[in-house]
């Protein structure tokens, strides 16, 4: 891993330019909220319709932008409230904005001294979770806040790393909590246990603790219904010697662990960051760093039966999308070895693999040159019968993905910035993309950007 120097940023203005007005929604458009990481179904899929199937020249219309500080969070959206978490200077800041205009409702800030040990970024990684009248955020140091969505007033707060005596690992807290009924489920990773906790949403008090084998990972807990019963899937495992981690399947009602299934790279400097995928009574898990994927069949007595493993589908931080018996995702640990792949769920075999490539013109003053580009380690969002792919250098693509292959439908270069690692968010025909580093061509700083995809 390459060390990079992080900067403390001064307070930022709300908008870099006056917002544009969004196009009207089609009367036939289906829309929905995006209340948490991976969306309302926790699987990177959207039910929205009536979106523009092609980008116009120059890319999709930019409605508004928020210059942001450090961090890798995505926003959460419910109704006319968008909540975003980032760091400005010595504070982690929770922003509440209007989703269509970017106008600010409120801000809540609290101090932080976090520095990730590899110098990538000193901001928060976890995304907000909106539930009813409350929003929950957790920062890179494990500072958990429950805030009133209307006002930003603190309802309760906890310092999880201090309370559970969790040492800082490679990159800080990155797992987004899961809201399930009246509780908040968190991969806290306390040494010796609990690995997972459930807190009351109204008070923050612990309801149960589960597991004791593994530390916190960078993947988020995922809800599932298996054999008609509610379950929560947690792919745990952070820094440890030797490196350990794997899948916990547990009952969210009481914290009872059905089983644990070890799945983790043998490399010390490695993480579990791709979320589990629940497909009926089957669970797919994946990890990078020469690990790969595995498919488990859960028996009626809630025990795992290993169906297959493959070294050819090791996802670093993106969560694959399941459709009609196939998984689509970006395999690979680093930019040079990343590829877009389709895996047949029944056999574990790769149906196809490709490196989406094209040539862009890079201009710097009077000089310009051609550069071969790709999505590299991208993120996928399934929507309106197609896929939106956000590449890690700021490219946005409409794709058609089938078991027969990949087809690019449209492409736009939103910005020339590395570390574009956060899943884009879609709500009411508007797409929210986070630029985490400075645009090397236009020199624009990190921003939260809102684009109009309404047809």
Domain regions of the chain by residue span: 36-68+356-455, 73-173
pLDDT at 10 exceeding the cut of 50: no
Query: What's CA 111's distance to the chain center, in Å?
Result: 24
Beta bridge partners of 450: 64, 432
- The DSSP element (H or E) to which 160 belongs, if any, is helix 160-163
Mean pLDDT, the chain, whole residue set:
94
Rg for the chain, CA atoms, rounded: 21
Chain segment 353-385, per-residue pLDDT in tens = 999 999 998 887 778 899 999 999 999 999 999
β-bridge pairing 339-344 and 91-97:
unpaired
Of the given ranges (18-27, 322-331, 337-346), which has the lowest mean pLDDT? 18-27
Residue with tokens 């995809």: 453
Assess whether the previous peptide bond of 194 is cis (omega < 30° from 0).
yes
> pLDDT grade, residue 28 (50/70/90)?
very high
Q: What pLDDT is stored for residue 407 in this prediction?
A: 98
Chain segment 62-100, per-residue pLDDT in tens = 999 999 999 999 999 999 999 999 999 999 999 999 999
Q: What pLDDT is stored for residue 336 in this prediction?
A: 85
Average pLDDT over residues 50-57: 95
Q: What pLDDT is stored for residue 17 in this prediction?
A: 57
- Alpha-carbon gap, residue 263 to 349, rounded angstroms: 19
Residue with tokens 């603790």: 209
Average pLDDT over residues 144-168: 98
Q: What pLDDT is stored for residue 447 in this prediction?
A: 98
Chain segment 293-327, per-residue pLDDT in tens = 999 999 999 999 999 999 999 999 999 999 999 99
Q: Is 453 left (phi over 0), alpha (psi -120 to 50) or beta?
A: alpha
CB atoms within 10 A of CB 1: 10
Average pLDDT over residues 267-296: 97
**What share of the chain in percent tops pLDDT 70?**
96
Of the given ranges (12-21, 233-242, 390-399), which has the lowest mean pLDDT? 12-21
pLDDT at 119 exceeding the cut of 80: yes
Nearest to 175 by CA among 163, 187, 167, 162: 187
Q: Looking at per-residue confidence, does 1 or 11 come out higher?
A: 11
Chain segment 133-150, per-residue pLDDT in tens = 999 999 999 999 999 999
> pLDDT grade, residue 18 (50/70/90)?
low
Phi, psi of 93 (to 5 degrees): -125, 130
> pLDDT grade, residue 9 (50/70/90)?
very low
Beta bridge partners of 262: 246
Assess whether the previous peptide bond of 259 is cis (omega < 30° from 0).
no
The C-alpha torsion from 199 through 204 and 205 to 207, rounded to 10°, is -10
Positive/negative CA dihedral, 36, 37, 43, 49: positive
Q: What pLDDT is stored for residue 15 in this prediction?
A: 52
Q: What pLDDT is stored for residue 4 in this prediction?
A: 32
Positive/negative CA dihedral, 257, 260, 264, 266: positive
Average pLDDT over residues 181-198: 98
Q: What pLDDT is stored for residue 327 in this prediction?
A: 98
Q: What pLDDT is stored for residue 5 in this prediction?
A: 30
The C-alpha torsion from 376 through 382 and 387 to 389, rounded to 10°, is -30
Q: Looking at per-residue confidence, does 68 or 119 come out higher?
A: 68
Q: Is 416 left (phi over 0), alpha (psi -120 to 50) or beta?
A: beta
The C-alpha angle 287, 290, 294, rounded to 5 degrees, equals 45
Q: What pLDDT is stored for residue 1 in this prediction?
A: 33
Contacts of 421 (CB under 8 A, 6+ apart): 72, 317, 377, 379, 392, 436
Chain segment 243-253, per-residue pLDDT in tens = 999 999 999 99
Domain covering 73-173, topology: Thrombin, subunit H (2.40.10)
Whole-angstrom CA distances from 225 to 24, 179, 285, 298, 325 are: 37, 15, 16, 11, 18
Q: Provide, for the chain, the percentages of residues in helix, strand and coil under a 3-state DSSP scheme, each rounded to the nearest 5.
A: 0, 45, 55
């Amino acid at each position: 891993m390459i060390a990079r120097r992080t900067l403390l940023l001064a307070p930022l203005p709300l908008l870099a330019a006056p917002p544009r007005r969004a196009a009207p929604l089609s009367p036939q458009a289906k829309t929905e909220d995006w209340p948490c990481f991976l969306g309302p179904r926790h699987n990177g899929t959207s039910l929205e319709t009536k979106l523009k199937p092609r980008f116009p020249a120059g890319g999709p219309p930019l409605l508004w932008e928020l210059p942001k500080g450090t961090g890798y969070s995505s926003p959460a959206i419910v109704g006319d409230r968008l909540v975003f978490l980032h760091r400005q200077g010595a504070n982690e800041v929770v922003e509440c904005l209007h989703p269509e205009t970017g106008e600010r409702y409120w801000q809540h800030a609290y101090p932080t001294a976090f520095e990730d040990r590899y110098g990538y970024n000193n901001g928060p990684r976890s995304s907000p979770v909106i539930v009813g009248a409350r929003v929950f955020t957790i920062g890179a140091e494990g500072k958990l806040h429950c805030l009133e969505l209307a006002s930003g007033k603190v309802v309760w707060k906890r310092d999880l790393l201090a309370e559970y005596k969790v040492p800082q690992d490679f990159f800080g807290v990155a797992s987004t909590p899961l809201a399930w009924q009246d509780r908040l489920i968190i991969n806290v990773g306390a040494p010796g246990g609990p690995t997972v906790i459930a807190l009351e949403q109204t008070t923050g008090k612990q309801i149960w603790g589960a597991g004791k084998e593994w530390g916190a990972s960078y993947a988020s807990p995922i809800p599932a219904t298996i054999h008609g019963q509610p379950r929560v899937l947690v792919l745990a495992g952070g820094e440890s010697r030797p490196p350990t981690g794997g899948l916990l399947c547990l009952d969210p009602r009481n914290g009872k662990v059905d089983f644990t299934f070890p799945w983790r790279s043998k490399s010390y400097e490695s993480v579990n960051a791709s979320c589990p995928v629940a497909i009926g009574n089957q669970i797919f898990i994946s990890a990078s760093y020469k690990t790969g994927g595995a498919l488990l069949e859960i028996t009626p007595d809630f025990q795992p039966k290993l169906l297959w493993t493959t070294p050819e589908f090791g996802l670093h931080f993106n969560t694959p999308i399941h459709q009609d018996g196939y998984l689509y995702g970006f395999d690979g640990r680093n930019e040079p070895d990343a590829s877009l792949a389709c895996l047949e769920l029944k056999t574990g075999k790769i149906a196809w693999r490709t490196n989406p490539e094209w040539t862009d013109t890079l201009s710097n003053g009077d000089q310009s040159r051609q550069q071969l580009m790709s999505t590299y380690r991208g993120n996928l969002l399934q929507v309106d019968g197609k896929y939106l792919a956000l590449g890690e250098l700021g490219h946005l693509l409409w794709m058609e993905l089938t078991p027969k292959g990949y087809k690019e439908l449209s492409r736009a270069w939103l910005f020339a910035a590395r570390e574009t690692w956060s899943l884009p968010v879609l709500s009411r025909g508007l797409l929210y993309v986070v630029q985490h580093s400075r645009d090397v061509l236009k020199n624009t700083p990190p921003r939260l950007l809102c684009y109009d995809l309404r047809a």
